[in-house]
C-alpha cells in the first residue's frame, strides 16, 4: 500500500474539502423512476430528501444527487426534466445538512442550476466529453468536478469495452479529460478523478482496475471509486443476485478501494459502508506504521 496523498479541495461554496486523512463516504441519492439500485424508491423529492438526511446521520461525508439513470441501456433525459427532478432535492438537502452536495450530471445547464440550488461539486460521468460547455460552467463557478472515465453513451457503452491495457488506456483518457478541463479554465486543484468501474468495462476489466487502483495516483489528483451494487460484482457471486442484495460484495470492493488509496467511495448502503471504510482505513494506518 502506498501512502494516500493529502489534498484540500476548495468547494464552490467556499468551504474546503480535506481528502486523504481518511477515506470519505459519498451517499447516492438517485431521483429517478428507474434506478437500477432501488427501483425508484427515492423518485419522490420528499423521500429523496429524507434519504439524504438519513445518510448524513449514518455518517455520509458527501451526498451525490442524480436525476438521470446511467445504467447500461438507459435512455438520455432532457435537461428540463433533469432539473425538475434534482433541484428541489438539492435545495431541500442544502437547507438541512452541512455536508457538501454533489450533482451527478453531464449537462452544463443542469450543473449551473444545481450550483445555484446549493450543490458544491459537479460529478460528470463523461469526463467532460458529452457536453463541452460543462467545463466552462465549472470554471466560471469555481466548483470542483469529478471526471469519470467513460466511452460511448449508456445505451451502447459495452460496445466500447475493448482494451489492450485497460488501466493504461483509462489513465491516458483521464489525462485527456484533465487536460481539456484545465485548458477550459478549470483549476487542476479542483479536479477529482474516477476510473469508472462498470462503465464501458466488462467485469474482468473492472476488477483489474480495482486491483490496480493505486496506479491512478500518478494522475496527481484525488481518486473516487464507485463500485456499489454494480453488475460486475455478479461475476464472482452469481448473475442472479439483484442489486439490492449486493452489499456484501460491495463491501469487499470498498475495502479493496480504500486499501489501494481511494479518497472517496460512492455507495448506496451508507451505514454499512461507513463501518467498512473505517476498518479499512485503520488497516491502512497500521500498514503505514
Which of 1, 7, 2 has the alpha carbon at shortest distance from 187?
7
130: Cβ contacts below 8 Å, ≥ 6 apart: 106, 107, 124, 153
C-alpha cell at 196: 469508472
Could you list the active site residues?
230, 266
Give me the DSSP letters along 14-38.
S-EEEESSS-EEEEEEE--TT-TTT
- The whole-angstrom separation of Cα 122 and Cα 106 is 8
Q: Provide the phi-psi class of 75: left if phi over 0, else alpha when psi is between -120 and 50, else beta.
A: beta
229: Cβ contacts below 8 Å, ≥ 6 apart: 36, 37, 243, 244, 246, 247, 250, 268
List phi, psi (to 5°) of 149.
-85, 135
- The whole-angstrom separation of Cα 257 and Cα 197 is 11
Chain center to CA of 222: 12
Element (H, E) at 148: strand 145-148
Amino acid at each position: 500500500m502506498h501512502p494516500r496523498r493529502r489534498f484540500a479541495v476548495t468547494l464552490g461554496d467556499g468551504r474546503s474539502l480535506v481528502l486523504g486523512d481518511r477515506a470519505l463516504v459519498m451517499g447516492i441519492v438517485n431521483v429517478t423512476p428507474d434506478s437500477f439500485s432501488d427501483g425508484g424508491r427515492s423518485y419522490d423529492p420528499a423521500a429523496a430528501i429524507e434519504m439524504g438526511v438519513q445518510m448524513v446521520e449514518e455518517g455520509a461525508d458527501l451526498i451525490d444527487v442524480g436525476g438521470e439513470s446511467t445504467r447500461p441501456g438507459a435512455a438520455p433525459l432532457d435537461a428540463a426534466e433533469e432539473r425538475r427532478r434534482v433541484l428541489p432535492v438539492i435545495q431541500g438537502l442544502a437547507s438541512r445538512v452541512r455536508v457538501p452536495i454533489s450533482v451527478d450530471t453531464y449537462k452544463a445547464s443542469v450543473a449551473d442550476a444545481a450550483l445555484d440550488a446549493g450543490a458544491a461539486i459537479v460529478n460528470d460521468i463523461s469526463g467532460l466529453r458529452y457536453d463541452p460547455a460543462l467545463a466552462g460552467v465549472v470554471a466560471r463557478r469555481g466548483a470542483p468536478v469529478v471526471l469519470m472515465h467513460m466511452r460511448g453513451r449508456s445505451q451502447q457503452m459495452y460496445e466500447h469495452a475493448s482494451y489492450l491495457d485497460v488501466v493504461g488506456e483509462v489513465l491516458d483518457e483521464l489525462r485527456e479529460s484533465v487536460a481539456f478541463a484545465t485548458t477550459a479554465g478549470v483549476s487542476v486543484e479542483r479536479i477529482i478523478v474516477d476510473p469508472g468501474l462498470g462503465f464501458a468495462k466488462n467485469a474482468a476489466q473492472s476488477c483489474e482496475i480495482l486491483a490496480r487502483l493505486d496506479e491512478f495516483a500518478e494522475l496527481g489528483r484525488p481518486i473516487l471509486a464507485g463500485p456499489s451494487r454494480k453488475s460486475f460484482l455478479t461475476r464472482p457471486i452469481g448473475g442472479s443476485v439483484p442489486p439490492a442484495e449486493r452489499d456484501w460484495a460491495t463491501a469487499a470492493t470498498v475495502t479493496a478501494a480504500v486499501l489501494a488509496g481511494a479518497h472517496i467511495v460512492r455507495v448506496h448502503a451508507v451505514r454499512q459502508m461507513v463501518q467498512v471504510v473505517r476498518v479499512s482505513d485503520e488497516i491502512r494506518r497500521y500498514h503505514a506504521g
